[in-house]
Amino acid sequence: MKKVYALIGGFLIFIVAVYLFSGNQGNGNREVYAEKEKPKESEDIIDEIITEKEKDTEKLTGEYIKIIRQIQDYKFPTNGVVKEDKTTVYYDNGYDLFKNGMGFAVAYDPNIGPAEPTKEQYIPVIVGLIHSTYNEEIHDWEDVNAISRYIEEALEQLDQAKVYAEEYPPFSDWLDETIGYLNKAKGIVPNIEAKVPFRKALTNIENFVEAKEIAEE
């Protein structure tokens, strides 16, 4: 049995980095001068967190609010649990579901391929596959070959997510729209007109990741 902490397709290593360490993202290079800062009351801190979360949520449309709620309402299945630690729940079908930043890893025999997730595991798998398509460096339109590779790999991930999303309209509707944009761009790359649907797809993916992060706060 080969243990592969990866998804399927061209984003294998990237996903583990994103989801295993997503709890450490966002700190940046912020310098802290504690001795110069007046200690804040706990109520003030809570109010600031709520206000910031409300501001982020207001940027997103209704469809993303539904995605946020779908992620927030998810409960890890109890059947098939092999073990559990602070960050991960491990299942007997080879799927490991992450607690800190929704996503997954899968262990499988390379001669057979990964098992199908159970229905109760669908949401983390959907979210993980979609998040795997997020790439901050793909905005450079001058590298058309990179754009074409990205579109092919993103479509592979999103098409797989679509298989599991049929009973979850917030995800399936988002996937239909985003896959549509990517397919339209794919059909006319390297034509400059491909930039319009391509940018729309990237915007959708960026908004999805933002909604996911809000849901996980």
Cis peptide bond prior to 197, omega within 30° of 0: no
Q: What is the pLDDT of residue 49?
A: 38
List, edge to edge, every strand of the sheet that includes 95-98.
Answer: 81-84, 88-91, 95-98, 104-106
**How much is the mean pLDDT over the chain?**
79
pLDDT in tens, 144-182: 889 999 999 999 999 999 999 999 999 999 999 999 999
pLDDT in tens, 3-20: 443 443 333 333 333 333
pLDDT band per the 50, 70, 90 thresholds, residue 58: low
Determine the distance from the C-alpha atom of residue 37 to the mean position of all C-alpha atoms in its chain, rounded to a whole number: 35
pLDDT in tens, 75-93: 999 999 999 999 999 999 9
**Helix intervals (H) in 59-168:** 62-72, 122-131, 144-164
| Strand intervals (E) in 22-181 | 81-84, 88-91, 95-98, 104-106
Q: Tell me the two tokens of residue 109.
A: 């025999």
Q: What is the pLDDT of residue 26?
A: 39
Most distant pair of Cα atoms in the chain: their distance: 60
* pTM of the predicted protein model: 0.74
Q: Tell me the two tokens of residue 103.
A: 């996503």
